[in-house]
Structure 1
Amino acid sequence: MNENSFGGTGTAARSGTAAGTRPVTGTDTGAGAYDVAVIGGGAAGLSAALVLGRARRRTLLVDAGEPRNAPAAHMQGYLTRDGMGPAAFLAAGQREVATYGVERMSGLVTDAVPHGDEGFALTLADGRRVLARRLIVTTGLADELPAIDGVAERWGRDVLHCPYCHGWEVRDRAFGVIAHPVMPAHQALMVSQWSADVTLFLHTAPEPSPEDTARLEAAGVTVVTGEVAGLVVGKAGLTGVRMTDGRVVPREVLFVGTRTTPRDGLLTALGAATHETPMGRFVTVDETFRTSVPGVWAAGNVIGAQEQVVNAASGGYRAAALANADLLFADLDRKVEAAAA
């Protein structure tokens, strides 16, 4: 399991405030402002909060509490955390950041606007306001599953997305792949490394290119034309894929590509630049994870669909380190200017 397949932080707010969090209300200014507000409590956000807490920054972590990886039973490929459940991973991260004085607030940030000479005012869905000098946005993305009967119900169990996350656990079983409308052959070719029995269902996707057709033949992938109507599920799980013409193709595991929508509304409202990718339009960041908006960084799936948990955590770490340095030198430069005056 990783952020590429189910990671990130959701958009629905949880009620109440986490233990140990001081809610900021009204028009808190000056000394009442946080150094950094981290918006999103997944791997990237927790990693950023950990770095900032250890740097002795007054840090607020705002978490909407609906991680993208909630349907998955485990996450893989994260050194020393391989096989750990996503909920257990997040709980461990929350405990760690709390030991460094990071405040955690449950809720959904609905608005972020510039405030004063430097800083931002955040508004939560329940009306609370928060001021912060810098922002790190780690709000993840949302998956749109193919509109096929049974796919949503089996998502995260035997309907999967990322072979790096789940391939080992389902290796050598009968795989099915629903072709992605943009890259119809790509996922089938990738998962063929984990099973010699792979069937690609073109569904509504175009025919693969001649080059990919040759690759599919080389990989031993069977191609099935026609639209998929739904899944056939037995007591033990998925048993087949049912076509609209009534055929049932026996399969034990189904891989699907999702349409991904980054939860970047706060960033784009602030004017952050974006760029087009094969997986959609995402906010642009530089090598330090800084967006085009001064004082705003972003990390995790909000900046790309391929940010697995370990990569998201790394991105949050680097964004936090650079945000901290930005604050440090801004404050030192002000002192230098004041002394010269």
Structure 2
Amino acid sequence: MIYDVIVIGGSYAGMSASLQLLRARRSVLVIDAGNRRNRMARQSHGFLGQDGTDPASIAKEARQQLEAYPTLTWVDGEAVAVNGEYDAFDVAIADGQTHHGRRLLFATGVTDHLPNIDGLEERWGRSVFHCPYCHGYELDAGRIGVIATGPMSAHQAELLSEWGTVTLFTNGALTLEPAARQALEQKAITIEDTAIRALSGEADVQLRGGRTLSFAGLFVAPTVTPSSSLPANLGCSMAQGPIGQMIAVEGSKETTVRGVYACGDAAMMPHSVSLAVGDGAMAGMQLHRSLIWPDIHP
């Protein structure tokens, strides 16, 4: 069988794109490895109609809604190779099967690269966050710690002062010029230059030298890279964003390889569930148009 569209990645963006295509009665194959980026989070916030819902429940319900459409095929598995060209792409998955499609959509998400701090990874998504719009309100205007990863962390600390009393930990990753330091202090942001030894408790920061500071929540700005090397292997160009690499796309969500599209966190910044869903919807509509009018493309 030759599918109209093969979607690699079945999280929020991939499912949103698939929904538009299924409602146009197009055949869609979704290949999903089951690694949602927010799988560690207890609740999803900022997504209209689903505010405070367990993200796993959102994903489960969305998949059930897609499965009501007869032109959907869903494969739980990992895509391991892609090749081909416009109107004739092949996707191999880990179990040895190969599938064929006229268009490809990468909705493969990104990998977060976190600072090497003992105790941080196991708190990621639970008491250590990256998005204040997703998690700031629940901290109830309490004490917030920002762990620096680079120059963007000063902006993150300034933004987070809208949600609580902020302490910025430079932690050897951020050097503040006197003017920048003064500007942060004028916004009542405490700057802590002592290196972090470890995180403990719910959101406690243990400093070298013995002090421990407690917070309602912690924030860090990780660097990101696309979770899959398949787009690059196929020849899709990459772009550099403010927090890392992403797949380069046109306004139509088409990559630099004709017939290959990308959406969601892998192809845009900033990141959130609501933005991923919107980006996926746009990609799905643009993919449908490319099947109707194949001669119109960027």
Would the aligned equivalents of 2:13 and 2:281 in 1 still touch at CA under 8 Å?
yes
For residue 26 of structure 2, what is the aligned residue in structure 1? Answer: 57
2:196 to 228, 232, 243: 228
Alignment match, 1:260: 224
Shift of 1:250: 3.0
Query: Over residues 113-154 of structure 1, what are the superposed CA-to-partner deviations in whole Å (9 max), with x where a residue is unaligned?
Result: 015x62200000111110000011100001122111111122
Counterpart in the other structure of 1:205: 173
**TM-score normalised by length of structure 2:** 0.94
CA distance in 1, matches of 2:225, 2:73: 29
Change in Cα spacing, 1:206 to 1:307, as seen in structure 2 (3 Å) is closer
Q: CA RMSD in A?
A: 1.7
| 1:1-341 mapped onto 2 (5 Å cutoff) | 32-101=1-70, 102-114=72-84, 118-195=87-164, 197-233=165-201, 237-238=202-203, 240-330=204-294
How has the CA–CA distance of structure 1 residues 201 and 330 changed in structure 2, closer, same or farther, with 3 Å as cutoff?
closer
| Secondary structure, counterpart of 1:318 in structure 2 | helix
* Percentage of matched positions with identical amino acids: 37
Shift of 1:211: 4.6
Please list the CA deviations of residues 277-312 of structure 1 after superposition, one character each: whole Å capped at 9, or x if unmatched. 221222111111111100011000111341311111
Residues matched between the structures, number? 295
2:222 and 2:159 map into 1 onto residues whose CA distance is 16
How many Å apart are 1:210 and its aligned residue? 4.3
Deviations 1:135-185 (A, max 9, x none): 111000011221111111222221121110000101221111101223231
Higher relative strand content: 2
1:181 and 1:204 in contact (8 A); partners too: no
Structure 2 CA distance, aligned partners of 1:319 and 1:230?
42
| Aligned partner of residue 47 in structure 1, secondary structure | helix
Q: Structure 2: any 5+ residue segments left out of the alignment?
A: none
CA distance in 2 between counterparts of 1:211 and 1:55 reads: 56
Output the amino acid matched with 1:215.
A
- SS, match of residue 330 in structure 1: coil
Distance 2:2 2:178 in 1: 58
Cα separation, 2, equivalents of 1:277 and 1:210: 27
What CA distance in whole angstroms lies between the structure 2 residues aligned with 1:148 and 1:330? 50
CA contact (8 A) 1:40 1:62 kept: yes
Aligned-partner SS, 2:191: strand
Task: State the 1:264 CA deviation.
Answer: 4.0
